[in-house]
Chain A
Amino acid sequence: MDPQLELLDLHGPATRKTIAAMIEAVIAACVAVGADHEVSYAVRLAVEEASLNILNHGYCGQPGPIALRLLRDDEKIVVILTDSAPSFTPDSLEQPDTTSDWQRREIGGYGWHLIRSMMDGVQHKETADGGNELTLTKNLLRA
């Protein structure tokens, strides 16, 4: 088997319609490579959360460019999301409140928390044009 297989290479303006189409393609690709339900769910969720962050926070709702590559690399699914929004550092994001009661709980910030929890690898780097490249990996085989 080819150790690295490109499953998807998608580009478009970051709109809700584009993101919906990307997610649909990601789900179909996960099925095509035989990913189990837990892996497919995690990859779908990571793409939804990360691409909506790009649209809502990176581009403040404006449709800037977004690109998604999906690879099967050995026994991993690899998602590479690229945008031209101002560079940010995921590590600097605050952890959401997941323990307080109703009165004190701030609702929000769950997206990144879920990505970190459900994916096996999260890497960010600034692109040459000052945008962002986010690489998310999920192991196909359980440890």
Chain B
Amino acid sequence: MEITSLEKDGVTRIVISGSLDFQSTPDLESRFASLAETIKSSAILDLSGIDYLSSIGVRALVTTGKAIASKGGKLVLLNPQDVVRTVLFTTGVNHVMPIVFDDDDALRAATA
């Protein structure tokens, strides 16, 4: 699991790659929690490098989104692969955070 983050114009862009499964997610949850504390407003999470997402990963994403929302910000998910997208929509993540497929749409959603 690789994770990098960069803040620009008040929006934090996070890129992660690998599998969000029961083995990687506990570590990721604590790293996300630390990251969520440093995020000033909104964040774009680039999921294009994530090849697998299970329910524990969904829970980590929703928990992180809630932490950011509690400070008035927004977590935007960018460019999930096909089956990862199916998991996100099946679990209704699309009802609680924007899922977009284009950089410009991501920035618009993060700053709206």
> 1/0 contact trace for B69-104 toward A, CB 8 Å?
100000000000011001100111001100000000
Whether a CB of chain B sits under 8 angstroms from the CB of A41 is yes
Whether a CB of chain A sits under 8 angstroms from the CB of B40 is no
Interface of A: prevailing SS? helix
Establish whether residues B23 and A20, one from each chain, have CB atoms under 8 Å apart when the complex forms: yes
Residues from chain B with Cβ under 8 Å of A97 in the complex: 92
Whether a CB of chain A sits under 8 angstroms from the CB of B21 is yes
Establish whether residues B90 and A114, one from each chain, have CB atoms under 8 Å apart when the complex forms: yes
The number of inter-chain residue pairs (CB within 8 angstroms) is: 62
Q: For this complex, into which size category does the number of interface residues on chain A fall?
A: 20 to 34
Establish whether residues B59 and A98, one from each chain, have CB atoms under 8 Å apart when the complex forms: no
Interface of B: prevailing SS? helix
Establish whether residues A110 and B59, one from each chain, have CB atoms under 8 Å apart when the complex forms: yes
Given contacts A97-B92, A100-B95, A118-B86, contact A105 B62 (CB under 8 A): yes
- The interface stretch among B7-15, B30-38, B41-49, B50-58 is B50-58
With most chain B CB atoms within 10 A of its CB, the pick from A37, A96, A99, A107 is A107
Establish whether residues A118 and B95, one from each chain, have CB atoms under 8 Å apart when the complex forms: no
Whether a CB of chain A sits under 8 angstroms from the CB of B63 is yes
The 6 sampled A-B contact pairs (Cβ below 8 Å) are A45-B52, A45-B54, A48-B21, A49-B54, A97-B92, A99-B95
